[in-house]
């Protein structure tokens, strides 16, 4: 049999392994994963029974193949009643915890609620044009924002940067309030320094005009059939035990089909022959370096590391890969008896907590970028729903900077202090427990040598047995469904002997935008 090596057990890597095993009996498939966990940044961390979602992952797609794939792995259950949840949790706790192999292998239907926390007030995300928004802004700001938007309609800027992209769609005033600071916090660069393609990647079709069209569309008789911009979706699917559950199930299916998954196996280098054909890779496992040969290599590892570990890379392409930027991520799980935030919405929640899945923080006095409320992602993420709120404080940083280098204890003190400063809790003494997690290269960034990435891609496509998939594998800010689609296309090419790679790289470059989180 031929051998296929898959680097990375995230959504793209596991999808590629599963699909190749399902569609062909010619390949022996091995997956190399540098950590203990399946799912990459989509993993779920279990801390004393309370579960953490690394970044928040909504499962929503306009690709039928993806939706069916998810349904096959985790059938849809719907939203359980609170009494049913309590009874089930009581039984599970007596039995030692939930069993993913039994009743817990399902998807839940969840309401999407995401808001912006700005000057200690909540604003809808994306910004809505309803009375509460105008009231929170104040009359003076309403007038300035209105004229600012009209100016952007009449005088479009040439889109040389992400700043231009947002101002063209929202006007300068709303941009300064709801995009500028958050974007700089996220990327560590001002939007004027970031390529506009990031905006096109993550906010296709979203603008003030799209919000107005959606608002009036809800009033029409056939409103359920109207076109909805992805950033305006109101519900999504979610694995009962967090996103990592889907990839744990997928990994188990890969192994049932004969695939191998090597955990704690970090790929460090690749060997190419004189014909630019990859012959082998070397991985670190148990303190030893192991060389292994294969016929096909499917990589979801960061392009920077992939190219940096190869021999025979031309100077130009090596320089582009070495300069590709990333943003890293730290999150602190915080267990509290309650939050000071009041639920002023009409949405019913367990314990009457605010209904948000996550909240974007636009407070310029803190470094916190976003916080998740895990109770609202899935009630099964929290051990004691009646008496605790389990939240995740998300910080964007760069490996080696002061935030990244904080010890877990220092990070906990710092982040809890910001909770107090924002008024989320009254005192650090309110905190029952914390847990810290860090993720390297969580977000591929669109600046520095990214402007020359097409040159790098063209060279990578000359390697006949290499396929780049997923978010980091393509250095593209893909959602889960996009990452999976790159693997669908890759397996199609391998099975059918298609040499051209354009279908793989063209995933998520079309005008229509798909969202999974």
How far is it, in rounded angstroms, from Cα 466 to Cα 494?
10
Lowest mean pLDDT among 232-241, 282-291, 372-381: 232-241
Residue 389 DSSP SS3: strand
Q: Is residue 68's pLDDT more than 80?
A: yes
Q: Is residue 11's pLDDT more than 80?
A: yes
Query: Dmax over Cα atoms in the chain, in whole Å?
Result: 71
Roughly what angle, to the nearest 10 degrees, separates helices 162-170 and 139-154? 110
437 backbone dihedrals φ, ψ, rounded to 5°: -135, 145
Whether 514 contacts 488, CB under 8 Å = no
Lookup: tokens for 314: 């031309």
What are the tens digits of pLDDT across the range 263-281?
999 999 999 999 999 999 9
How far is it, in rounded angstroms, from Cα 375 to Cα 146?
37
Q: Is residue 85's pLDDT more than 80?
A: no
Query: pLDDT class for 77, splitting at 50, 70, 90?
Result: confident
Give the residue among 368, 377, 383, 384 at the shortest CA–CA distance from 416.
368
Q: Is residue 253's pLDDT more than 60?
A: yes
Average pLDDT over residues 381-385: 92
pTM of the model: 0.88
Chain centre distance of CA 333: 17
Whether 361 contacts 117, CB under 8 Å = yes
What are the tens digits of pLDDT across the range 445-481?
989 999 999 999 999 999 999 999 999 999 998 899 9
pLDDT of residue 203: 55
Query: pLDDT class for 99, splitting at 50, 70, 90?
Result: low
What are the tens digits of pLDDT across the range 199-209?
765 554 455 55
Share of the chain above pLDDT 90, in %: 68
What are the tens digits of pLDDT across the range 147-184?
998 898 889 999 999 999 989 888 999 889 888 999 99
Residue 279 DSSP SS3: strand
Average pLDDT over residues 424-443: 96
pLDDT of residue 202: 54
CA angle in degrees (0–180, nearest 5) for 242-244-246: 90
Give the residue among 400, 386, 393, 435 at the shortest CA–CA distance from 51.
435
Share of the chain above pLDDT 70, in %: 88
What are the tens digits of pLDDT across the range 111-129?
888 889 888 888 887 666 6
Query: pLDDT class for 515, splitting at 50, 70, 90?
Result: very low
Rg of the chain over Cα atoms, rounded to whole angstroms, equals 23
Please measure the distance between the N-terminal and C-terminal CA atoms of the chain and give it in whole angstroms.
38
How far is it, in rounded angstroms, from Cα 503 to Cα 4?
20
pLDDT of residue 353: 93
What are the tens digits of pLDDT across the range 178-234?
889 999 999 999 999 988 877 765 554 455 555 555 444 545 555 454 444 444 577
pLDDT of residue 88: 76
**Residue 222, Cβ density class (10 Å: 0-12 exposed, 13-18 middle, ≥19 buried):** exposed
pLDDT of residue 98: 64
Lowest mean pLDDT among 88-97, 140-149, 221-230, 413-422: 221-230
Query: pLDDT class for 517, splitting at 50, 70, 90?
Result: very low
Q: Is residue 95's pLDDT more than 80?
A: no
**Residue 312, Cβ density class (10 Å: 0-12 exposed, 13-18 middle, ≥19 buried):** exposed
Q: What is the mean pLDDT of the chain?
A: 89
pLDDT of residue 364: 87
Lookup: tokens for 13: 């890597």
Q: Quick one: the chain helix, strand, coil %, rounded to 5?
A: 40, 20, 40
Give the residue among 235, 181, 249 at the shortest CA–CA distance from 43.
249
* Residues contacting residue 338 through CB under 8 Å, at least 6 positions apart: 351, 353, 389
């Amino acid at each position: 049999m031929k051998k296929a090596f898959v680097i990375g057990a995230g959504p793209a890597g596991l999808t590629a392994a599963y699909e190749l095993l399902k569609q062909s009996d010619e390949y022996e498939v091995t997956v190399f994963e540098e950590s203990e966990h399946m799912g990459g940044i989509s993993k779920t961390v279990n801390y004393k029974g309370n579960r953490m979602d690394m970044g928040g992952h909504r499962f929503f797609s306009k690709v039928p193949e993806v939706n069916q794939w998810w349904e096959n792995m985790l059938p849809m259950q719907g939203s359980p009643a609170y009494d049913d949840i309590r009874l089930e949790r009581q039984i599970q706790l007596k039995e030692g915890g939930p069993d993913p192999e039994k009743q817990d292998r399902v998807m839940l239907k969840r309401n999407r609620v995401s808001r912006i926390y700005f000057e200690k007030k909540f604003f809808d995300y994306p910004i809505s044009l309803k009375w509460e928004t105008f009231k929170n802004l104040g009359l003076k700001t309403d007038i300035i924002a209105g004229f600012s938007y009209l100016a952007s309609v009449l005088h479009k800027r040439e889109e040389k940067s992400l700043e231009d992209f947002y101002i063209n769609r929202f006007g300068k005033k709303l941009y300064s309030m709801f995009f500028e600071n958050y974007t700089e916090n996220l990327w560590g660069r001002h939007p004027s320094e970031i390529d506009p393609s990031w905006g096109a990647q993550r906010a296709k079709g979203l603008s003030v005009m799209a919000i107005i069209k959606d608002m009036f569309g809800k009033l029409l008789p056939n409103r359920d059939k109207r076109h909805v911009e992805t950033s305006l979706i109101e519900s999504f699917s979610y694995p009962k035990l967090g996103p990592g559950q889907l990839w744990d199930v997928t990994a188990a299916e890969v192994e049932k089909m004969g695939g191998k998954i090597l955990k704690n196996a970090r790929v460090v280098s690749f060997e190419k022959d004189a014909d630019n054909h990859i012959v082998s890779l070397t991985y670190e496992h148990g303190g030893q370096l192991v060389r292994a040969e294969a016929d096909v290599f499917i990589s979801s590892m960061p392009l920077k590391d992939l190219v940096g570990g190869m021999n025979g890379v031309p100077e130009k392409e090596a320089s582009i890969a070495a300069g590709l930027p990333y943003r890293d991520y730290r999150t602190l799980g915080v267990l509290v008896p309650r939050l000071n935030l009041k639920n002023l919405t009409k949405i019913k929640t367990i314990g009457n907590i605010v209904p948000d899945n996550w909240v974007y923080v636009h407070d310029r006095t803190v470094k916190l970028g976003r916080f998740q409320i895990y109770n609202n992602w899935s009630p099964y993420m929290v051990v004691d729903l009646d008496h605790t709120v389990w939240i995740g404080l998300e910080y964007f940083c760069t490996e080696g900077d002061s935030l990244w280098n904080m010890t877990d204890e220092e990070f906990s003190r710092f982040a809890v202090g910001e909770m107090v400063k924002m008024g989320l809790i009254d005192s650090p003494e309110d905190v029952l427990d914390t847990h810290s997690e860090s993720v390297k290269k969580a977000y591929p960034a669109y600046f520095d040598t990214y402007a020359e990435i097409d040159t790098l891609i063209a060279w990578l496509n000359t390697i006949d047995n290499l396929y780049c998939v997923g978010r980091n594998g393509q250095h593209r800010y893909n959602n889960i469904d996009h990452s999976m689609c790159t693997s669908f296309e890759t397996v199609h090419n391998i099975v059918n002997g298609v040499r051209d790679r354009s279908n793989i790289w063209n995933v998520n470059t079309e005008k229509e935008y798909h969202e999974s989180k």
